[in-house]
Amino acid sequence: MIYKLLEKFDQHLAFDTAKAHCDIPCGIYDPITAQINALTVVRMIDLITHLENTHKEHDADFMNSMSRYVAVKEEHAEKAKHEIRVIWGDYIKAPHVEKHPEIPELVHKIMQLGSKSRQTVDRDTALQFVEAINQFAEIFWDTKGIAIKRAKAPYPPALELVYPNL
Amino acid sequence: MLKIIKVTGDSLSPVYNDGDFVLIAKIPVCLFKIKTGDVVVFEHPEHGQLIKKVASISTQEGTLFVIGFHENSMDSRHFGAIGKNDILGKVIWHIKKTA
């Protein structure tokens, strides 16, 4: 209640701020980058599958498109893993793990699913990758005391993502 | 004299988080003498108004070594000890952000 009151005052009076920043500009953590990267992995698998089903001749055009899709899939699976590692390593603290003891296992699961998504074109694996990162996002926003909502991404493959309900 | 300050950034997380408010007692106030472990707000010439924890005090030199809780915190480990005169106040009340 006191916080809400101060927040209202702040909107009108704009209290002075004191920065608790880290290496510039620390404090900017958001799992959405990892979520979008994982979504891209699913999208690339869909494009790979579609190309394989519609392009009977494996000509230069086919090879060119296929290699680009595979490269993007590789890159984004690795980027998603990187983003999760940064939040895990730099942001998550002991009290967060105490409250959410499932985090270490979840992070490990994300790493494994990310690797498998690079090795294969298994859509189910990629979907699990997206969902595991969604679960990580739920925990992340809970540590910030911010409510979440689930909504379909407004672009293909239109999978459900976790967003902060601001 | 008292003043309300809003915290930005996460270097004092998870104790002080981005968006929290703190009430500081502006210095000098004998009742609120600064000691090791206190959290203070101070003015840094390059980084502006910062909030950090006091790790140690050198009474001889009149300086304080301040740190964040985060390993990547931008604090005295990077810019050295701060002068007592740079301190704007000591946190005497912490109002945590609520959902």
CA distance A101 to B37: 28
pLDDT over 90 percentage in chain A: 72
pLDDT over 70 percentage in chain A: 96
Domain A33-164 has what CATH class? mainly alpha
| Diameter of chain A measured on Cα atoms | 68
Nearest-by-Cβ selection for B41 from A18, A143, A144: A18
On the question of pLDDT at B93 being above 80, the answer is: yes
Q: What is the mean pLDDT of residues B53-69?
A: 90
ipTM, two decimals: 0.81
pLDDT in tens, B18-59: 889 999 998 665 556 788 999 999 998 877 889 999 999 998
Closest chain A residue by Cα to residue B78: A23
Structure tokens at A90: 């730099």
Nearest-by-Cβ selection for A3 from B10, B74, B96: B96
Structure tokens at A150: 């689930």
Quick check: helix, strand or coil at residue B54?
strand
On the question of pLDDT at A151 being above 80, the answer is: yes
Arithmetic mean of pLDDT over chain B: 86
CA distance A109 to B45: 45
Beta-carbon contacts of residue B61 (< 8 Å; ≥ 6 apart) = B81
On the question of pLDDT at A155 being above 70, the answer is: yes
The pLDDT of residue B69: 80
Domain B2-95 has what CATH class? mainly beta
Between positions 145 and 164 of A, the ones with CB within 8 A of B are 145-147
Nearest-by-Cβ selection for B4 from A6, A90, A144: A6
The pLDDT of residue B31: 55
Query: Per-residue confidence at A33, pLDDT binned at 50, 70, 90?
Result: very high
Q: How many helices (H) and strands (E) does chain A have?
A: 6, 3
Question: Is it true that the peptide bond before A31 is cis, omega within 30 degrees of 0?
Answer: no
Each domain of chain B, given as residue ranges in start order, spans 2-95
Query: Per-residue confidence at A154, pLDDT binned at 50, 70, 90?
Result: very high
Across the strands, what pairs with B43? B49
Q: Which residue has the tokens 């104790």?
A: B15
- Residue pair B75/B10 in contact (Cβ under 8 Å)? The answer is no
Least confident segment among A20-24, A80-84, B25-29: A20-24
pLDDT over 90 percentage in chain B: 40
